[in-house]
Amino acid sequence: MKIFIDTANLDKIREVNSWGILDGVTTNPSLVAKENTDFETLVGEICKIVSGPISAEVMSETATEMVEEARKLAAINKNVVIKVPMTEEGLKATKTLAEEGIPVNMTLVFSAAQALLACKAGARYISPFVGRFDDVGEDGLRLIAEIMDILDSYDFDTEVIVASIRHPIHVTQAARMGAHIATIPYDVLKKMFNHPLTDIGIKRFKDDWAKVPKK
């Protein structure tokens, strides 16, 4: 499974990239708004840190405007992926962008039917949101299972980015289902390598090592 970080914060991206496990970055308007930097400059800076796909979202509402906005974002760096919302206009824009060779991450996917349409339109990535399903008492991971069943049955050139991740269990369960990518908030990434038994083991080794005679 590829691991992306879901943030627009440069310091957090640099830190996680230093771990040697980061494959890409996803951003959204809410994350960008926290950084107090103009969008295009911020995307350019992220591209200097991470060599993998960097998702940048269009804010236009019509297909024509989405395509125009997407072309400008794609010109920032060859690794920019355009996030397009799952709407009728978004599907039209995705088809056009895919034909132009501009990769699209179709976002705000909440059903397998939506995922199928995104694949048919040529989306390079689709982002189903598991946490928001869990927030309303539904099983978000069941959606991932349904989408992976569809992708396993057909020859779509589309990868699933599991989004809206709330905790490490979302990541491990999605990986067990064969999801291609998880885009993970910084705080959840930090939790993934922490375990009390690891801490206990390290302390025990240190305590025992202190008893070993030294020259």
Q: Write out the chain's pLDDT in tens, 215 residues.
A: 999 999 999 999 999 999 999 999 999 999 999 999 999 999 999 999 999 999 999 999 999 999 999 999 999 999 999 999 999 999 999 999 999 999 999 999 999 999 999 999 999 999 999 988 878 877 889 999 999 999 999 999 999 999 999 999 999 999 999 999 999 999 999 999 888 899 899 999 999 999 999 88
Contact, 32 vs 70, CB < 8 A?
A: no
Annotated active-site residue 83? The verdict is yes
pTM of the model: 0.93
Contact, 105 vs 127, CB < 8 A?
A: yes
**Strand ranges in the chain using DSSP code E only, listed in sequence order:** 2-6, 24-26, 54-57, 80-85, 104-109, 125-128, 159-162, 181-184
- Sketch out the chain's domains with CATH numbers: 2-211 (3.20.20.70)
Among the options 12, 34, 72, 83, which is catalytic? Answer: 83
